Structure 1
Amino acid sequence: MATDPGIFDYTQRDYDALLVSLLDTAALKLPEWTDRSENDLGRLLLELFAQVGDVLLYYQDRIANEAFLATAVERRSVIDLLGLIGYALSTPAPAAVELTVTARNDTVAPLVVRPAARFATEAAPGRPPTEFSYLPVPPVPLSVPRDGSGGTVTATLTCVNAQQIADETLGTATGDAGQGFRLAQHPVLLPRDPDSQEYLAVEVDAGGGFERWQRRGTLLRSRSADPHYVVRIDAEDNAELVFGDATYGRVPPAGATVRATYLIGGGQRGNVGAGTVTVAKSGVNSPVTVVNRLAASGGAERESIEHARALAPYVFRSGQRAVTATDYAALTENVPGVTRAIAVSPSWNHVDVYVVDSAGAAPTDRLRAQVLTQLSERAMVTTLVSVRQPVFVRIDLAVTVGVEPTYYRDDVRSRVRDALGALFDVERIEFGQSFYLSKIYEAVESRAGVAYAQVTTFAGVRSDPPGEQVDPAAAAAGLIQLQPREFPTAGLLQVKAEGGLA
Structure 2
Amino acid sequence: MPIRPPSLDDRRFDDLVDDLIARIPAHTPEWTNPRLGDPGRTLIELFAWLGDALLYRANLIPERQRLVFLQLLGMGLKPALPARGIVGLAFAQEKELGAHILAPFGRIKATPAFETLAEITVLPISGEAYVKRRLPSAELARRSDLLHGLVRIHQLSAAPKAYTTTQVYADGRAAAEGVDVFGQSADRALWIALLAPPAGNPEDQPATNEAVKSAIGGGDSGLPALLSVGVVPAIKPLQPFEQTSAPSPVPVWWEITTRGQSDVDTDYLRLTVEPGTDTSAGLTRAGTLRLRLPDERHLWAPSNDVGINPRAGVGDAPPRLDDAERAARLIAWLRLRPQPGANVEHLALTWLTLNAAEIDQRQTITAQVLGSATGAADQSYALPLGSVDAATLAIQVEEPGRGYQDWQRVDDLAAISADPNVAREARAFELDAEAGRLRFGDGLRGRVPEAGMRVRLASGRFGGGRAGNLPPQSLAKLEARRIDGQPAPAIKVLQPLALSGGEDAETLDLAERRIPALLRHRDRAVTEEDFRRLSFETPAVDVGRVDVLPRFKPSDRRFNMPGVVSVMALPAVQFGSTPHPRPDRPFIERVHAHLSARTPLATELYVIGCDYVPLGLSVAVTLRDGFARDQVLLDIKQALTRFLWPLAPGGLDQAGWALGRAVRSRELEVEVSRVAGVDELRGLALFGQRDPAQGDTTWQRLPVIAADGAQMLTLQPWQLPELLAVVAVEGPNAPADLRALPNPYADPTAIAVPVVPEVC
TM-score range, shorter chain: 0.5 to 0.7
Q: Match of 1:295, as an amino acid?
A: A
1:24-173 aligned at under 5 Å gives the runs 24-27=22-25, 29=26, 33=30, 35-36=32-33, 38=35, 44-45=39-40, 48-49=43-44, 51-64=46-59, 66-68=60-62, 72=63, 79-101=67-89, 112-119=101-108, 129-136=111-118, 144-147=291-294, 148=296, 149=299, 150-151=331-332, 154=354, 156-173=356-373
Residue 250 of structure 1, aligned match among 447, 450, 462: 447
- Is 1:215 the counterpart of 2:409? The answer is yes
Aligned-residue offset at 1:389? 7.1
* Contact 1:328 1:353 (C-alpha < 8 Å) held by counterparts: no
Q: Which moved more, 1:291-300 or 1:262-271?
A: 291-300
Q: Which moved more, 1:171-180 or 1:314-323?
A: 171-180
Aligned-residue offset at 1:115? 1.2
Aligned-residue offset at 1:161? 0.7
Q: Percent identity?
A: 21
Q: Match of 1:116, as an amino acid?
A: F
Which residue in 2 is equivalent to 1:323? 526
Aligned-residue offset at 1:381? 1.0
Work out which of the two has the higher radius of gyration on C-alpha atoms and give 1 or 2.
2
* Contact 1:38 1:44 (C-alpha < 8 Å) held by counterparts: no
3-state SS in 2 of match to 1:295: coil
Q: Which moved more, 1:298-307 or 1:340-349?
A: 340-349
Aligned-residue offset at 1:229? 0.7
C-alpha distance in 2, partners of 1:199/1:32?
73
Q: Match of 2:114, as an amino acid?
A: F
Aligned-residue offset at 1:230? 0.9
| Deviation by residue 1:205-255 (Cα, 9 ceiling, x = unmatched) | 53557654332332111222333211246xxx7522111122112234564
* Contact 1:112 1:144 (C-alpha < 8 Å) held by counterparts: no
C-alpha distance in 2, partners of 1:365/1:21?
66
- Is 1:230 the counterpart of 2:430? The answer is yes
C-alpha distance in 2, partners of 1:475/1:136?
57
1:349-360 aligned at under 5 Å gives the runs 349-352=564-567, 354=569, 356=571
* Contact 1:113 1:142 (C-alpha < 8 Å) held by counterparts: no
Which residue in 2 is equivalent to 1:268? 466
Aligned-residue offset at 1:168? 2.7
Aligned-residue offset at 1:269? 1.4
Q: Match of 1:166, as an amino acid?
A: T
3-state SS in 2 of match to 1:214: strand
Which residue in 1 is equivalent to 2:151? none
* Contact 2:102 2:480 (C-alpha < 8 Å) held by counterparts: no
Q: Match of 2:35, as an amino acid?
A: E
1:388-407 aligned at under 5 Å gives the runs none
Q: Which moved more, 1:221-230 or 1:335-344?
A: 335-344
3-state SS in 2 of match to 1:262: strand
* Contact 1:220 1:248 (C-alpha < 8 Å) held by counterparts: yes
Aligned-residue offset at 1:327? 2.3
Q: Match of 1:433, as an amino acid?
A: A
Go from structure 1 to structure 2 and tell me whether the alpha carbon gap of 1:136 and 1:303 turns closer, same or farther (over 3 Å shift): same
Go from structure 1 to structure 2 and tell me whether the alpha carbon gap of 1:371 and 1:434 turns closer, same or farther (over 3 Å shift): closer
Q: Match of 1:36, as an amino acid?
A: N
Aligned-residue offset at 1:312? 3.2
Which residue in 1 is equivalent to 2:260? none
Q: Match of 1:310, as an amino acid?
A: R
C-alpha distance in 2, partners of 1:296/1:51?
55
C-alpha distance in 2, partners of 1:155/1:17?
71
TM-score by length of 2: 0.41
3-state SS in 1 of match to 2:104: strand
Aligned-residue offset at 1:366? 8.0
Which residue in 2 is equivalent to 1:199? 392
Q: CA RMSD of the aligned region, Å? A: 5.2
Which residue in 2 is equivalent to 1:282? 480
C-alpha distance in 2, partners of 1:388/1:330?
16
Aligned-residue offset at 1:56? 1.6
* Contact 2:565 2:603 (C-alpha < 8 Å) held by counterparts: yes
TM-score by length of 1: 0.59
Q: Match of 2:385, as an amino acid?
A: H
1:338-353 aligned at under 5 Å gives the runs 338-340=541-543, 342=546, 344-345=548-549, 346-347=552-553, 348-352=563-567
- Is 1:432 the counterpart of 2:647? The answer is yes
Q: Which moved more, 1:346-355 or 1:217-226?
A: 346-355
Q: Match of 1:198, as an amino acid?
A: A
C-alpha distance in 1, partners of 2:510/2:39?
47
* Contact 2:479 2:491 (C-alpha < 8 Å) held by counterparts: no
Go from structure 1 to structure 2 and tell me whether the alpha carbon gap of 1:230 and 1:309 turns closer, same or farther (over 3 Å shift): same
Q: Which moved more, 1:264-273 or 1:369-378?
A: 369-378
Residue 300 of structure 1, aligned match among 475, 500, 503: 503
* Contact 1:78 1:305 (C-alpha < 8 Å) held by counterparts: no
C-alpha distance in 1, partners of 2:443/2:104?
37
Q: Which runs of 5+ in 2 are unaligned?
A: 1-7, 120-274, 278-287, 300-330, 335-353, 417-422, 483-487, 554-562, 613-644, 655-675, 678-691, 698-720, 731-760
3-state SS in 1 of match to 2:48: helix
Q: Match of 2:391, as an amino acid?
A: E
3-state SS in 2 of match to 1:241: strand
C-alpha distance in 2, partners of 1:362/1:118?
36
Number of matched pairs: 384
3-state SS in 1 of match to 2:58: helix
* Contact 1:107 1:146 (C-alpha < 8 Å) held by counterparts: no
- Is 1:309 the counterpart of 2:524? The answer is no
Which residue in 1 is equivalent to 2:617? none
C-alpha distance in 1, partners of 2:427/2:583?
35
C-alpha distance in 1, partners of 2:572/2:410?
27
Aligned-residue offset at 1:294? 3.5
Which residue in 2 is equivalent to 1:470? 723
C-alpha distance in 1, partners of 2:402/2:606?
46
C-alpha distance in 1, partners of 2:510/2:41?
45
Q: Match of 1:250, as an amino acid?
A: R
3-state SS in 1 of match to 2:55: helix
Aligned-residue offset at 1:331? 3.3
Go from structure 1 to structure 2 and tell me whether the alpha carbon gap of 1:243 and 1:67 turns closer, same or farther (over 3 Å shift): same
More strand, by proportion: 1
Structure 1 stretches of at least 4 aligned residues deviating more than 6 Å after TM superposition: 106-111, 137-142, 284-289, 357-370, 388-392, 474-477
Q: Which runs of 5+ in 1 are unaligned?
A: 1-9, 121-127, 191-196, 393-429, 440-452, 455-463, 478-502
C-alpha distance in 2, partners of 1:152/1:386?
44
Q: Which moved more, 1:348-357 or 1:242-251?
A: 348-357
Aligned-residue offset at 1:357? 8.0
* Contact 2:107 2:116 (C-alpha < 8 Å) held by counterparts: yes
